[in-house]
């Protein structure tokens, strides 16, 4: 069986979900021949620049403009002209599909949904199957495509939204968003703390806002330092990393761009983060409550609202809100355990295996 796993490099989450599936399939199901690609590598340079660098620039520099475009996208997302435009600009991708004769495409970005939906309409004889993994905890209608055979969703909220928009229930699987297999494995807190040089007995907050380290992280760290153990990931924000290291604050450990977030989560009691779909999924897999701040308007604010409704996370407006929620989680055991119970209701430990079963059953 030949499976193509397709993402688009617009934020890190789509790629991480694709790579998580690839890592699992290679280890657990070698009989499935899987390949991971970025669909933007098969589009003109201007198109890739618009999707990737344009997205990064807007969310980091012009968040207000991003939000306007996000809201406008609800109006034009189902205009067939946009799907045909995506299809035309992705012809090298279509040629690869035809040449290598993939049987299934697993998509973690809506761009592939648009392209393949048009392709299947133009080639009704094609046996190609399309599985769409919606990598958020809310639903933007741009994910919906006529050519999608199965939708993998994060939670029943997204499932209900799809049904409300006319998608048949038998095409929807509430399996959760895939995280890397290491997030589903058990790592004892003491073992993780030993590796990190942290104190396993100290209430610990992991602070992270994605690759770019955006938001008032320095101010938050200063306001919490001395009362809690803080693990702070700065990502590619080297200036923030240097400033925090220079402060030499007690019980504060500072990291740049790392690949062992699972270890940091294993020793943490709370994750203080923006509400990206994959960060939420990883936190749920590790069973750690979330406190949200500096969310990207639209996409992540909606994610945060859904997770807050489930009781697995908490939205905040300012640093005082952040302190209030974190200290409540530290000092009120009942409050904290309620959050843990909410996490168990929404998280799934079998996401990767359940998705692989769909592939094998096709």
Strand ranges of the sheet holding 129-133, from the earlier edge strand across to the other edge: 33-38, 2-7, 104-107, 129-133, 150-152, 172-173
CATH code of 2-178, in short, is 3.40.50
Q: Check: CB of residue 278 under 8 Å from CB of residue 135.
A: yes
Question: What was the pLDDT predicted at 14?
Answer: 95
Say if residue 212's pLDDT is above 80: no
- The string of pLDDT tens digits covering residues 136-168 is 999 999 999 999 999 999 999 999 999 999 999
Say if residue 172's pLDDT is above 90: yes
Mean pLDDT of 255-284: 96
Percent of the chain scored above 70 by pLDDT? 100
pLDDT category, 339, cuts 50, 70, 90? very high
Q: Which of 216, 225, 205, 218 is nearest to 317 (CA)?
A: 216
Question: Domain ranges in the chain?
Answer: 2-178, 187-346
Q: Check: CB of residue 149 under 8 Å from CB of residue 324.
A: no
Instruction: List the structure tokens of 291.
Output: 């406190």
Mean pLDDT of 115-127: 96
Query: DSSP string of 180-240?
Result: -GGGTS---HHHHHHHHT--TTS-EEEEE-TTTT-SSHHHHHHHHBTTBEEEEE-TT-HHH
pLDDT category, 209, cuts 50, 70, 90? confident
Q: Which residues, 6+ apart, have CB-to-CB distance to 273 below 8 Å?
A: 206, 207, 208, 209, 279, 283, 290, 291, 292, 293
pLDDT mean across residues, the chain: 94
Question: What was the pLDDT predicted at 196?
Answer: 95
- Look at 326 and 63; give whichever has higher pLDDT: 326
Same fold? 2-178, 187-346: yes
Q: Which CATH class is domain 187-346?
A: alpha beta
Question: What was the pLDDT predicted at 270?
Answer: 98
- The string of pLDDT tens digits covering residues 93-115 is 999 999 999 999 999 999 999 99
Q: Which residues, 6+ apart, have CB-to-CB distance to 259 below 8 Å?
A: none
DSSP state of 116: H
Alpha helices in the chain (DSSP H): 13-28, 45-51, 53-61, 63-76, 80-89, 91-100, 110-122, 156-164, 189-196, 217-224, 238-247, 261-266, 277-286, 299-310, 319-331, 333-346, 351-361
């Amino acid at each position: 069986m030949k499976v193509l796993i397709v993402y688009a490099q617009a934020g890190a989450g789509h790629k991480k979900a694709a790579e998580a599936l690839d890592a699992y399939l290679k280890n657990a199901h070698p009989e499935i021949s899987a390949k991971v690609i970025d669909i933007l590598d098969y589009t003109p340079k201007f198109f890739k620049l618009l999707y990737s660098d344009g997205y990064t620039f807007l969310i980091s520099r012009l968040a207000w403009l991003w939000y306007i475009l996000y809201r406008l996208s609800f109006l034009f997302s189902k205009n067939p002209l946009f799907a045909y435009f995506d299809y035309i600009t992705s012809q090298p991708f279509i040629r690869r599909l035809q040449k290598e004769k993939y049987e299934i495409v697993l998509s973690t970005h809506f761009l592939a949904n648009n392209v393949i939906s048009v392709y299947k309409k133009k080639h009704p004889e094609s046996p190609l199957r399309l599985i769409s993994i919606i990598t958020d905890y809310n639903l933007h209608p741009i994910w919906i495509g006529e050519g999608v055979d199965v939708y993998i969703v994060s939670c029943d909220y997204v499932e209900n939204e799809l049904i409300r928009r006319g998608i048949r229930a038998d095409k929807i699987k509430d399996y959760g968003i895939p995280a890397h297999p290491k997030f589903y494995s058990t790592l004892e807190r003491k073992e993780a703390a030993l590796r990190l040089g942290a104190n396993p007995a100290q209430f610990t907050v992991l602070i992270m806002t994605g690759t770019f380290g955006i938001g008032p992280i320095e101010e938050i760290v200063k306001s919490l330092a001395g009362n809690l153990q803080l693990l702070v990931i700065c990502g590619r924000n080297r200036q923030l990393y240097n400033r925090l290291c220079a402060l030499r604050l007690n019980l504060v450990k500072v990291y740049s761009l790392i690949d062992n977030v699972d270890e940091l989560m294993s020793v943490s009691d709370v994750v203080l983060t923006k509400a990206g779909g994959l960060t939420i999924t990883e936190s749920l897999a590790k069973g750690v409550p979330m406190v949200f701040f500096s969310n990207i308007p639209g996409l992540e604010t909606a994610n945060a609202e859904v997770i807050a409704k489930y009781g697995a996370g908490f939205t905040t407006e300012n640093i005082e809100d952040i302190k209030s929620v974190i200290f409540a989680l530290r000092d009120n055991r009942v409050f904290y355990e309620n959050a843990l119970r909410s996490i168990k209701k929404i998280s799934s430990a079998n996401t990767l295996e359940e998705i692989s079963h769909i592939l094998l059953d096709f």
